[in-house]
Amino acid sequence: MKVLKFGGTSVANAQNIKLVLNIVNNKAKDEKLIVVVSAFTKVTDMLQLASRKAAAGDETYKDTLAEIEKNHLNAIKELIPVIEQSALLSHIKRIVNHLETLLDGCYLLGELSLRTSDTILSFGELLSSYIIAEALKQNLKNSNYKDSRELIKTNSYFGKAAVNFEVTNQLIFDYFASNDSQVVVMPGFIASTLEGINTTLGRGGSDYSAAIIAGALNANQLEIWTDVNGMFTANPKVVKQAQSIAFISYQEAMELSHFGAKVLYPPTIQPVLRKNIPIVIKNTFEPESDGTYISNQEMIHSNPVKGISHIDNITLITLEGSGMIGISGSSKRLFEVLSQKNINVIFITQASSEHSICIGILNSDADVAEEAINKAFENEISQNKIEPCIVEKNLCIIALVGENMKNHQGLSGRMFSTLGKNNVNIRAIAQGASERNISAVINERDVKKALNTLHENFFEENAKQLNLFVMGVGNVGEKFMEQIQQQQKFLKENLKINLRVIAISNSRKMHFDEEGIALEDWQFLLENSEVADQNKFIDTVKELNLRNSIFVDITANESISKTYEQYLKRNIAVVTCNKIACASEYDNYRKLKKLSQQFNAPFLFETNVGAGLPIIDTVKNLVASGDKINKIQAILSGSLNFIFNNFNENNTFHDVVKEAGVQGFTEPDPKVDLSGIDVARKILILIRESGYKMDINEINNESFMPAECLNTTTNETFFESLANHSAHFEDIYKEALSKDSRLKYVAQFENGKANVGLQFIPKDHPFYNLEGKDNIVLFFTDRYVDQPLLIKGAGAGAAVTASGIFADVIRIGNN
């Protein structure tokens, strides 16, 4: 014999009930079944709402009642042939009339007792079970209906009654010993006292009903049919990568269900555990799937962690004070108070000094608990021996669960370091003596990030999901998006990095998709999305609070560079090619670096100097290894190098600068390059990364540009001024020819001083043959004295800059 329980989603409507009937009919061919059913989806909530409305004098309870009746009548019309509906409709109508009488009584009396509430809530299962039993009889004549209230007996603790197993087991055994039906349908959740008064077994009690029956009859198996493929390694609605668990022990299942795995009601396990009856969690909508098999069978698993679960809406209450040290009975008094108020303690931890006790309870119990505890300890509080209890609401408990965790060292350290790296603050920690779970209390807003981070670490083969928020999708940004799309599969398969772009924005539009933007359509999606709003962009990034979040700035915008602090403080990494932040006031530069360390949020800007060349990374490695940089000589502007390499007697300066813009080598405003400010920022960043303190105004900028050109306000007037001053630029070129030299824009640092400017480079200089848009840097250090360390390569262009940004992102993924 098997006991099958079908939950609310499985019997939500006639269409779903037909799936249930098909499952039952197929299984009934081989063995006898007992089928326990829940109320139709939402009906218990609707009954609760209607009763509260009635007690509050709100006449709309009648509308809720009418909706309940309509749902059940519609189901009958779809499940039962017309010629056989009459008797069933009459029976259901009588039940609804009885329910209406009770609700009318609540309305007239203006009150709702727990006893009355239990009776009203029982109607959901009474209605659903009777309809399903009648529908089953259409194809399976040897089936029957039995009211659970006649078999399951409890005390009179209404709302969550305790079962009298001695009486209940005998009644169940006696009934089924004399019943030869192939299938018996019973309502779950409901029971009665020995006097026949209606009681309920607590929300989720239908699972418990089925387990009670299975235990009493020594059933072969208890099957819980729901809307998911068993128990999961985490809540699949929160963790998309959650996996179904094939086999799990009773103890592990109990821990997971206690910590919020809603697929199984926690008390369900106890009645079958004693009899060693296996539980199988199955999916009504995918009946062929294996689901989860729960038993005491010993299983060997490589992963000691079986699942990660959580409980929302937790309040942490702390009782502390010197008056508790060495005083016996403090804990007893605390828990007695809570017990008297029927408050369930979910989480407990105590300081080894006995100075404080910390408990976790539901938010809904917090106010009652606070008042009761303070009253119980009012004498000690008045004498300042104990502080009034500290109440922290809107928290969440997360728990790692696994039978074999006790045999593995370092799991708690791995758990807490994983959370710490994502800036998830832990308020309290507890580990059961069984060592089957490690629990931590965190802020409710961090639960999604925490669960996904832990799941990634313990279940996804060390795969890391990176969530990108990209600001600026112009020339470089477009190349960056192309490179991500091209390399996504490679990164996932070879580097175990799952790269997702969550947001994109330009100056006009922005688009968010929490599940990841479809990169093949990103331009269309962006163009047809909402108006860009920098503040809203930041707020949305913070609100999403995704693990491994990276803000990618591919702009040259000063206002955006000022937002980095907000991201870093929320543990959001920043990758940028925008040089403004790192070349701003020294104090601001240092603050960003410190925030990066403080909040464990990488701040990477390799492309600030040399586009995709590993120049900054080389500086960091030199300094980290103990070397000292004494002198830097460099050509740091690929755009200026391109311009002066192509400026000759055949090409005017105006035309070459135009072409550099078309090629994407210059900044959107070419004056940034030609004024020397861009090069000054770059050498400043190298100086700072080398360990020196300097500000931009300390760098001598020897401009070769006429003041009129630099004072223009638009690109159009700027290019007009270049044409007007063509003779000036030709004179410079001719002077270089006369000295048998080439024009190069050079940055230098030595003896604490720095300068940038146009120089005439002779043929024997390393810079002379630097072609195209290449950059070159010479580092003279304590170790590289006579022959400098040289880095050379393409230092401008959308593709190489994008690849440098990409490299920084991957660097974070590999960290």
* DSSP bridge pairs for 200: 190
Phi and psi, residue 352, nearest 5°: -65, -20
pLDDT, residue 156, reads 93
CB neighbour list of residue 663: distance below 8 Å, 6 or more residues apart: 642, 773, 797
* Tens digit of each residue's pLDDT (9 = 90 or more) over 693-736: 999 999 999 999 999 999 999 999 999 999 999 999 999 999 99
What is the average pLDDT across 556-582? 96
Query: What is the 8-class DSSP label of residue 339?
Result: H
408 falls in which pLDDT band (50, 70, 90)? confident
pLDDT, residue 654, reads 95
* DSSP bridge pairs for 789: 779
Domain coordinates of the chain in residue numbers?
2-227, 307-445, 464-609, 615-795
CB neighbour list of residue 664: distance below 8 Å, 6 or more residues apart: 475, 476, 796, 797, 798
> What distance in Å separates the CA atoms of residue 274 and residue 751, rounded to the nearest whole number?
81
Phi and psi, residue 185, nearest 5°: -100, 130
* CATH fold for domain 2-227: Carbamate kinase (3.40.1160)
* Tens digit of each residue's pLDDT (9 = 90 or more) over 259-286: 767 777 778 888 998 899 999 999 999 9
307-445 is classed CATH 3.30.2130.10: yes
CA dihedral (393, 398, 403, 405) in degrees, to 10, reads -110
- Compute how many other C-beta atoms are within 10 angstroms of the C-beta atom of residue 91: 15
Architecture in CATH of 615-795 = 2-Layer Sandwich (3.30)
> What distance in Å separates the CA atoms of residue 384 and residue 17, rounded to the nearest whole number?
62
For residue 167, which amino acid is it?
V
pLDDT, residue 324, reads 79
Please tell me the least confidently modeled range out of 238-242, 483-487, 524-528. Answer: 238-242
Residues of the chain with pLDDT > 70, as a percent, come to 98
pLDDT, residue 432, reads 63
CA dihedral (696, 699, 704, 709) in degrees, to 10, reads 20
pLDDT, residue 294, reads 93
Above 90 in pLDDT, residue 349? no
What is the average pLDDT across 644-650? 92
> What distance in Å separates the CA atoms of residue 292 and residue 309, rounded to the nearest whole number?
16
* Tens digit of each residue's pLDDT (9 = 90 or more) over 416-449: 988 988 889 999 888 765 568 899 999 999 999 9
Closest CA to 812 of 616, 622, 603: 603
- Matching residue, tokens 């311009």: 643
* Tens digit of each residue's pLDDT (9 = 90 or more) over 504-533: 999 999 999 999 999 999 999 999 999 999
pLDDT, residue 74, reads 95
> What distance in Å separates the CA atoms of residue 216 and residue 170, rounded to the nearest whole number?
8
Catalytic residue (choose from 160, 282, 682, 744): 682
pLDDT, residue 665, reads 81
Helix ranges, 82-193 (H): 85-109, 114-121, 123-136, 165-177
Q: Classify residue 298 as exposed, middle or buried by CB count within 10 Å of its CB (0-12, 13-18, 19+).
A: exposed
Closest CA to 637 of 689, 678, 576: 678
Residues of the chain with pLDDT > 90, as a percent, come to 78
pLDDT, residue 535, reads 95
Residue 373 region, left (φ>0) first, then alpha (ψ -120 to 50), else beta?
alpha
Above 80 in pLDDT, residue 352? no
500 falls in which pLDDT band (50, 70, 90)? very high
**Which DSSP string do the residues of 685-727 spell out, in sequence order?**
HHHHHTT----GGGEEEE--S-HHHHT-SSHHHHHHHHHHTHH
* Tens digit of each residue's pLDDT (9 = 90 or more) over 191-236: 999 999 999 998 778 999 999 999 999 999 999 999 999 999 998 8
* Tens digit of each residue's pLDDT (9 = 90 or more) over 788-799: 999 999 887 889
> What distance in Å separates the CA atoms of residue 760 and residue 107, rounded to the nearest whole number?
96
* CATH fold for domain 464-609: Rossmann fold (3.40.50)
Whether residue 682 lies in the annotated active site: yes
Percentages helix, strand, coil for the chain (3-state, rounded to 5) are 45, 20, 35
* Tens digit of each residue's pLDDT (9 = 90 or more) over 387-406: 999 999 999 999 998 887 87
Above 60 in pLDDT, residue 248? yes
Q: What is the mean pLDDT of the chain?
A: 92
Q: Classify residue 35 as exposed, middle or buried by CB count within 10 Å of its CB (0-12, 13-18, 19+).
A: buried
Please tell me the least confidently modeled range out of 1-10, 113-122, 140-149, 244-253. Answer: 244-253
pLDDT, residue 435, reads 67
- Compute how many other C-beta atoms are within 10 angstroms of the C-beta atom of residue 740: 9
CB neighbour list of residue 59: distance below 8 Å, 6 or more residues apart: 53, 107
pLDDT, residue 203, reads 77
